[in-house]
């Protein structure tokens, strides 16, 4: 049955896909993948839809949505924190703090799933998921389960080898350090408060967070340079296209206001990038992934 992807993206944009199946575990995913492969149907993987801009006309593929409402995570026998890829990342971060497992506090409040987070090496405050990952269970496109160590995933800033490998993340094991629960909860509250100050609430306001990647540090060392600083100086906060506009508190965040289309968002992002190119002479690279002919 045709399903509109706007129901499954935080921009709340995106037309229909050919078929959509939601799964939370590897055996259910393998069943769907094998059936689609046998029928010769092309397919893609979706997590929480919080880093995607899907075309208004939709996409011709089927979509396997690996996502669940509540987390499936535990402390594994080897001391790592084991979580299903479908788990909401923030709920896993909350579980880690509640159970005295330190190291995931930075990921508090990042929308989306564990699988989507690993695919793009989600991070904040200078830390990213690849730093704390031990291993993953993946499903190949043929539907076979395998374990891969972190070293196989080539993590880099907001990137991993997972998209090129074309595999599906089904479970992940994170290396955590024993920590004081109260201190970890306080760290989490602090991170959430900082995020509330400068990010929109995606549950209420449609967005996919930062649209462009930050820039490499100047001269090779130090901190990455915030794309938002350049965008602000290039006048991005005053820009809009149709129903899409730039978040007042952060020049790198595009919002889909009432009546906005994916085309509006893409048009606005192109204008923002063009303004930075004109003023500073370099190209911003989108962090948000595009699906279909946006």
Chain contacts with ligand FAD (rule: CB under 6 A) = 10, 44-52, 66, 85, 110-113, 115-117, 119-120, 122-124, 162-163, 168-169, 199-200, 202, 207-209, 289
Tokens at residue 42, please?
A: 């092309």
Compute the least distance from the CB of residue 279 to ligand FAD, in Å: 25
Q: What is the largest CA-CA distance in the chain?
A: 55
Give percent helix, percent strand, percent coil of the chain, each to the nearest 5: 35, 25, 40
Compute the least distance from the CB of residue 282 to ligand FAD, in Å: 21
Of 54 and 241, which has the nearer Cβ to ligand FAD?
A: 54
Locate tokens 């997590």: which residue? 47
Which of 158, 175, 240, 271 is catalytic? The answer is 158
Compute the least distance from the CB of residue 278 to ligand FAD, in Å: 27
Of 168 and 241, which has the nearer Cβ to ligand FAD?
A: 168
Q: CA-to-CA distance for 135 and 222, rounded, in angstroms?
A: 28
Residue 27 bears catalytic tag = no
Residue 177 bears catalytic tag = no
Of 122 and 184, which has the nearer Cβ to ligand FAD?
A: 122
Which of 50, 84, 210, 263 is catalytic? The answer is 210
17 close to 62: Cβ distance less than 8 angstroms: yes
Residue 210 bears catalytic tag = yes
Q: CA-to-CA distance for 203 and 243, rounded, in angstroms?
A: 18
Of 20 and 100, which has the nearer Cβ to ligand FAD?
A: 20
Q: Residues 6 or more apart from 120 whose CB is under 8 A from it? A: 51, 158, 159, 160, 287, 289
Compute the least distance from the CB of residue 212 to ligand FAD, in Å: 12
Q: CA-to-CA distance for 251 and 271, rounded, in angstroms?
A: 13
Query: Which residues have a catalytic role annotated?
Result: 158, 210, 287
């Amino acid at each position: 049955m045709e399903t509109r992807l706007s129901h499954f993206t935080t921009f709340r944009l995106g037309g229909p896909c050919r078929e959509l199946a939601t799964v939370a575990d590897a055996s259910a995913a393998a069943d769907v993948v094998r059936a689609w492969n046998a029928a010769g149907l092309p397919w893609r993987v979706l997590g929480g839809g919080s880093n995607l801009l899907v075309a208004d006309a939709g996409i011709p593929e089927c979509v396997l949505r690996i996502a669940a409402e509540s987390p499936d995570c535990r402390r594994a026998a080897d001391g790592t924190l084991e979580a299903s890829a479908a788990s909401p990342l923030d709920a896993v971060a909350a579980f880690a703090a509640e159970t005295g497992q330190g190291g995931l506090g930075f990921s508090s409040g990042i929308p989306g799933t564990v699988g989507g987070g690993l695919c793009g090496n989600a991070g904040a405050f200078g830390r990213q998921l690849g730093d704390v990952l031990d291993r993953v269970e993946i499903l190949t496109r043929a539907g076979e389960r395998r374990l891969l160590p972190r070293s196989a995933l080539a993590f880099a800033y907001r990137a991993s080898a997972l998209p090129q490998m074309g595999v599906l993340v089904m479970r992940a094991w994170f290396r955590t350090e024993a920590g004081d629960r109260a201190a970890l909860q306080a760290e989490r509250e602090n991170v959430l408060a900082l995020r509330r100050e400068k990010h929109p609430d995606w549950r209420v306001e449609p967005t996919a967070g930062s649209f462009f990647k930050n820039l490499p540090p100047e001269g090779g060392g130090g901190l990455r340079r915030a794309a938002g600083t350049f965008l602000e100086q290039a006048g991005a906060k005053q820009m809009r296209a149709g129903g899409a506009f730039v978040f007042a508190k952060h020049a790198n965040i595009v919002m889909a206001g009432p009546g906005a289309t994916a085309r509006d968002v893409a048009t606005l992002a192109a204008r923002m990038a063009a303004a930075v190119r004109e003023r500073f002479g370099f190209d911003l690279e989108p962090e948000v992934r595009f699906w279909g002919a946006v």
